[in-house]
């Protein structure tokens, strides 16, 4: 077996350190130099010849994070690494996975092509916005499931009348998997958008009266959808509303929206580094999940046991 080395990009170094520690190694030495105009130049400060290299980098905005990852992959291949695996806790541009209107880009496919062209031999990520994005890659992709993080936490809450809710039709399968695991019911919030990040109307399909509702989603951006869904669910007679969301993008007025909402709490993971703290936001770590997955990949064992 080749030696395993783990390196971190600059998007989420704290998470990378936790993942490396969970795996049982320290992060490798890497320098990310920048020219005065902002042009990036990564260099590995130790030999990686013949090594299996894992590069940890979320590709949330700005787009420098994606280019930085591609440059690190390219540098590793040119340094004669045996295999290069891109560990992408949050896969950016995943919301653009199809042509939903004329003359638009399928950005998720473009990013897949860029990573493959850069020289990645394998991709490891968590809770893609759409599962079919896995098919955009012609290299192995390990799609980890955030349910392994959230299910144990939800069990500790011991809610008497728990019910799961999908904040939109696209999240039905995700909410249903939690409902099935906990053997409870689920409801759906049907929304209509005028434009991106702006909800025009929403209605709840199902009975939530007297229930402790758990909204389930893969990412929260401006939090407009979540907060509106929580408000409508509360108006329908719910006892409490909280949300579990894997990726806390949290842009625009997200923090303000959450703090002014009826949400009991928003539970997210550390796939994206938080810009600020909030009394309503609880962060769970995915470090152990990724650490175990890297062990499984390097040991050629199954990762299906990591899923709920």
Q: Which residues are catalytic?
A: 191
Q: Residue 3 carries which DSSP code?
A: P
3-state secondary structure 226-256: HHHHHHHHHHCCCCEEEEEEEEECCCCCHHH
Do 126 and 208 have their domain in common?
no
Q: Residue 28 carries which DSSP code?
A: P
Tens of pLDDT, residues 143-179:
999 999 999 999 999 999 999 999 888 889 999 999 9
- CA neighbor of 115 nearest in space, from 133, 131, 100: 133
Q: How confident is the model at residue 202 (pLDDT cuts 50, 70, 90)?
A: confident
Q: How confident is the model at residue 1 (pLDDT cuts 50, 70, 90)?
A: confident
Instruction: Look up the pTM and report it.
Output: 0.94
- Domain with 251, as residue range(s), is 147-284
Do 44 and 102 have their domain in common?
yes
Do 153 and 275 have their domain in common?
yes
Do 227 and 130 have their domain in common?
no
Do 141 and 8 have their domain in common?
yes
Tens of pLDDT, residues 20-34:
999 999 999 999 999
pLDDT of residue 170: 82
We report the CATH number of the domain holding residue 267 as 3.40.50.2020
Q: How confident is the model at residue 195 (pLDDT cuts 50, 70, 90)?
A: low
Query: How many structural domains does the chain have?
Result: 2
Section 281-291 average pLDDT: 98
Distances from the Cα of 286 to the Cα of 85, 86, 89, 95, 177, angstroms:
17, 16, 8, 21, 19
Do 82 and 166 have their domain in common?
no
Q: Is the pLDDT of residue 129 over 60?
A: yes
What does the alpha-carbon distance between residue 218 and residue 246 come to, in Å, rounded to a whole number?
5
Do 277 and 156 have their domain in common?
yes
Do 174 and 241 have their domain in common?
yes
Do 94 and 174 have their domain in common?
no
pLDDT of residue 192: 66
pLDDT of residue 194: 61
Do 276 and 293 have their domain in common?
no
What is the pLDDT of the chain when averaged over all its residues? 94
């Amino acid at each position: 077996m080749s030696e395993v080395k783990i390196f971190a990009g600059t998007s989420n170094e704290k998470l990378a350190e936790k993942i490396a520690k969970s795996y049982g190694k320290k992060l490798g030495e890497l320098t990310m130099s920048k020219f005065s105009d902002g042009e990036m130049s990564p260099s590995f400060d130790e030999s990686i010849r013949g090594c299996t290299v894992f590069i940890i980098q979320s590709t949330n905005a700005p787009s420098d994070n994606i280019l930085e990852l591609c440059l690190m992959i390219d540098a590793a291949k040119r340094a004669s690494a045996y295999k290069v695996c891109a560990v992408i806790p949050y896969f950016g541009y995943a919301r653009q996975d199809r042509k939903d209107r004329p003359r638009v880009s399928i950005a998720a496919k473009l990013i897949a092509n860029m990573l493959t062209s850069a020289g990645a031999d394998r991709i490891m990520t968590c809770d893609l916005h759409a599962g079919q994005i896995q098919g955009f890659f012609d290299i192995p992709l390990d799609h980890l499931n955030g349910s392994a993080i959230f299910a144990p936490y939800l069990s500790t809450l011991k809610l008497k009348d728990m019910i799961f809710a999908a904040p939109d039709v696209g999240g039905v399968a995700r909410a249903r998997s939690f409902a099935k695991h906990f053997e409870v019911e689920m409801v759906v919030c049907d929304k209509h958008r005028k434009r991106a990040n702006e909800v025009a109307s929403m209605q709840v399909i199902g009975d939530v009266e007297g229930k402790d509702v758990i909204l389930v989603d893969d990412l929260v951006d401006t939090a407009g959808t979540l907060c509106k869904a929580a408000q409508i669910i509360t108006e329908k007679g719910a006892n409490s509303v909280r949300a579990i969301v894997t990726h806390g993008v949290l842009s625009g007025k997200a923090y303000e929206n959450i703090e002014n909402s009826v949400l009991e709490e928003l539970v997210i993971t550390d796939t994206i580094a938080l810009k600020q703290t909030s009394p309503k936001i609880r962060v769970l770590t995915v470090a152990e999940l990724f650490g175990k997955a890297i062990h499984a990949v390097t040991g050629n064992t199954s990762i299906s046991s990591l899923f709920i």
